[in-house]
Chain A
Amino acid sequence: MSKSGMLYVDKDTLFHRMDGAAKLIVFAVWTVIVFLFQDLRVFVPLFAIGLILLFLAQIPYKRIRLLVWIMVVFNLFNSIFTLLITPSYGSEVTGTATVVLDLGYNVLTLETCFYVLTLTMKYMSLMPITVLFIFTTHPTRFASSLNRIGVPYKIAYAFNIAFRYVPDLQTEFRNISNAMQARGMGFGKGEGSMRDRVKHFISIAIPLVQSSLHRIEVVSNAMDLRGFGRHQKRTWYSATAWRRADYIIAALSVVAILAAIAVRLSGFGRFWYPFS
């Protein structure tokens, strides 16, 4: 995580050149489309397209490896959890029951397994586009694009500050934690009871919060001195002009969302179960 860019990977591809606001529109449209449907036949192509886009954006796998693993573990736990708590939910949705396994308190049905698979793919199909967005958009440019799509600039700037100060606070957190560990406080597993570890955590949190409150004073004074908030509008150093590609992609996104809504209204896209 670099100081200025957080997760941002600097490359020169179509996605990096695109304006943040256009990417934000694609991202929003994609998310809404995924929310609209509950159909594996929608999610698998979306996931595949997402992967291709991700490949084209030349994001090194090394950078996203952790995210991929978190996603895999999340889906695994979420699926097991769903299967254990509501093993026959899929049958409630489809109205058919194909028993796979008798769990005693309930029966696990094939419909539920398929439902869980659909749900997993639903989550997976959101992943590539999110990764694409966060890894190809510089936080400062992200703030200016938020402003462009209508978010008040003070809120957009708050986003900017938040991203800017995560690495700083992380360093601060590490310093305090090291200082406390040098005094003999343990935070890891087996370094004290639950109670002690919670207590030790507080001993980091208090100085961290205090120094953050101090930082708020310093930063807001510095911004006031430079006239922040004096005017109703603000320009951004990092703002880019929309190019033809941006207009085309934004227009395509609007078409896609309208088409998706039309398809959804025609009745397609409720939970799809092929074996009934």
Chain B
Amino acid sequence: MSQSKFNFTTKTVVAIGIGAALYGLLGSISIPVFTQTALRPAIAILTIFGAMFGPVVGLLSGAIGHIITDLIWGGGTIWWTWVAGSAISGLGMGLVFMKSSFHVNEGRAAKADLWFLGIVGSLAMAIGYGFSSVLDIYLYGEPPVKMFAQFLWATGANVIVHLVLGVPAVAGLISRNRKNSNLTVLK
């Protein structure tokens, strides 16, 4: 059954919802490295859901999940600019889904695909959080130098989580699914 990768099925809707709930819930957990910088393991959720369900799910669960995190831990404010950053990150992590050689549920992935996920995901975060920082400067009037420092820290920490937790988790899911379908055709 061939379906468009942008098909908005019931499963897409539920994946967005559950992905957002997970991202929002885990968003409250952070491992402080030093002042104002924390590793947020929740980023790995975006990596996994993006890779499994595609850019639309990545984008929307990033956005909704960020809103949920802010509702619980944002001090009564939703940081819209960083919501946009999470959304763009999720979109970038979902791009690997578009490649025909990559399919998590069927356990198919070329080595290049995982590199693609790692690199494009990191770039998307740089672009996404860059966008957030620029918006912070224009919408809130934060000093540019300060936002640049914050941008470097946020992006750096999240790229680390993406590469150390997210990509290996996706690789793990792929190899687990591969074991379930290890039938080969005898020629």
Contact call A209/B48, Cβ cutoff below 8 A: yes
In the complex, A162 has a CB within 8 A of chain B = yes
In the complex, A68 has a CB within 8 A of chain B = yes
In the complex, B16 has a CB within 8 A of chain A = yes
The answer to whether residues A119 and B141 also contact, given A127-B77, A158-B60 and a CB cut-off of 8 A, is yes
Which stretch of A82-90, A178-186, A243-251, A254-262 is in the interface? A82-90
Total interface residues on B, CB under 8 Å, equals 52
The main secondary structure of chain B at its interface with chain A is: helix
Contact call B76/A67, Cβ cutoff below 8 A: yes
In the complex, A165 has a CB within 8 A of chain B = yes
Query: Restricting to A217-233, which residues have a CB under 8 Å from any CB of B?
Result: 217, 219-220, 223-224, 228-229
Contact call A123/B16, Cβ cutoff below 8 A: no
B105, closest chain A residue (CB): A213
Instruction: Give min CB distance, B105 to chain A, whole Å.
Output: 9
CA–CA, A109 and B32, complex, Å: 31
Contact call A165/B17, Cβ cutoff below 8 A: yes
In the complex, B116 has a CB within 8 A of chain A = no
CA–CA, A168 and B83, complex, Å: 23
Instruction: Give min CB distance, A52 to chain B, whole Å.
Output: 16
Task: Encode B1-34 as 1/0 by CB contact (under 8 A) with A.
Answer: 0000000111111111111111011100101000
Task: Please indicate the chain A residues that have their CB under 8 angstroms from the CB of B39 in the complex.
Answer: 198
In the complex, A149 has a CB within 8 A of chain B = no
Contact call A162/B68, Cβ cutoff below 8 A: yes
Q: Could you list 16 further interchain pairs (A-B, Cβ under 8 angstroms) beyond the known A212-B22, A223-B13, A223-B14?
A: A7-B71, A67-B74, A68-B75, A71-B76, A81-B146, A85-B149, A161-B13, A161-B14, A161-B21, A164-B17, A166-B68, A215-B18, A216-B14, A216-B15, A220-B10, A220-B13
- Subset of 21 A-B contacts with CB under 8 Å: A73-B75, A82-B146, A119-B142, A122-B141, A127-B75, A154-B8, A155-B60, A157-B17, A158-B20, A162-B16, A162-B61, A166-B21, A169-B21, A197-B31, A202-B165, A205-B44, A205-B169, A215-B18, A220-B10, A220-B15, A223-B10
